[in-house]
Copies of this chain bind each other. A is one copy, B any other.
Amino acid sequence: MKKTRLCDLLGIEYPIIQGGMVWIANAELAAAVSNAGGLGLISPTAGMSPNGDQVANLKQQIKTARSLTSKPFGINLAILGSPHIEDLIAAVIIERVSVVVTAAGNPALYTSRLKEAGIKVLHVAAAVRHAQSAERRGVDGIIAEGYEAGGHNGTDELTTFALIPQVVDAVTIPVVAAGGIADARGVVAALALGADGVQMGTRFVATHECVAHPNFKEAIVKANDVDTVITARKLAPARILKNEVATRILEMETAGASAEELIAFIGIARSRTGQLEGDLANGEAYCGSIAGMIKEIKSAGEIIGSIVSNYDTVLASLR
């Protein structure tokens, strides 16, 4: 499999990043991905109680990951709306983690502090202007995330297929494709569009190492192509598995619910209820629309191994 400049930038063997999914991107998963040659990401909320201490939890997660791997791994930090962001930034600097992925917020705020501490910074962008802005702020790479991705995504609704080549043409730093990727075909396609690597979220949820509840993993395995939907489109779009909660949010939107009413209903831990507690009647489960292609719970290492070993087969099919 091709070694790209993303591999050189991050010190990894294969240009495959595991998404730092809220509540469920835990140290064991990240370490397994990193041990297999990719880059694992940890979420500060991984496995945490609803009102837990994110900073303490993050430090514990980092400690656990370091006990499981000597390879680089990273931390995913949502900037916007995070009351603990200052303390989390301080923590990753003290802990000297290798990589921080910043999402949902202004890359001007923390990029230089992180880089001065020797940390590589990747920023998530869902449109060309956001990628260009992040490049100007000095980030080392862009994670360009398409509309098919699970969880929160951009209001511009640009899909991976349309987004990647346009971002690649607009910036000079490495671009990582996210959204819609779950096997070697997707990795080859992303690189063909000009990406230097991929980030996969949903595929890595359905692994033995992920702390996500078995109900959530099983729901991914059972999902078909049309089993996810965008909710809260005008407020803060999120792609989730279709369930009673999704139906209720869509009904509220159709009825003209205000932002306050939607926020009050969704709350801050409803995605924890679905993803970590496995209550798929009352919880949200962030899920990409590629879930229909995921038919089996595997180990993170098997997933990366399968992509690496099938990469050349896909390439040969194109000749």
Min Cβ gap A146→B in Å is: 6
State in angstroms the CA–CA spacing of A226 and B183 once bound together: 28
State in angstroms the CA–CA spacing of A53 and B161 once bound together: 38
Residues of B within 8 Å of A186, CB to CB, are 161, 165, 193
Q: Which of A225-270 contact B (CB under 8 A)?
A: 225-226, 230, 256
Q: Which of A207-215, A274-282, A284-292 contacts B (4 or more CB under 8 A)?
A: A284-292
Number of interface residues of A (CB under 8 A): 46
- This chain's copy number in the assembly: 2
Question: Cβ of A180 < 8 Å from any Cβ of B?
Answer: yes
With A166-B292, A225-B166, A319-B315 in contact, is A161–B188 under 8 Å at CB? no
In this complex, which of A157, A162, A224 has the most chain B Cβ atoms within 10 angstroms of its Cβ? Answer: A162
- Decide: A159 and B148 in contact? CB cutoff 8 A: yes
Min Cβ gap A233→B in Å is: 9
Q: Which of A166-192 contact B (CB under 8 A)?
A: 166, 169, 179-181, 183, 185-186, 188-192
Residue of B nearest to A160 (CB): B161
Question: Cβ of A318 < 8 Å from any Cβ of B?
Answer: yes
In this complex, which of A2, A179, A186, A256 has the most chain B Cβ atoms within 10 angstroms of its Cβ? Answer: A186
- Decide: A226 and B165 in contact? CB cutoff 8 A: no
In this complex, which of A183, A256, A318 has the most chain B Cβ atoms within 10 angstroms of its Cβ? Answer: A318
Min Cβ gap A294→B in Å is: 10
With A190-B189, A224-B128 in contact, is A161–B158 under 8 Å at CB? no
21 A-B pairs in the complex with CB atoms less than 8 angstroms apart: A2-B318, A128-B225, A146-B159, A146-B161, A148-B159, A158-B226, A159-B180, A159-B289, A160-B160, A161-B161, A161-B179, A161-B186, A162-B180, A166-B290, A166-B293, A169-B293, A186-B193, A188-B192, A191-B318, A192-B318, A315-B315
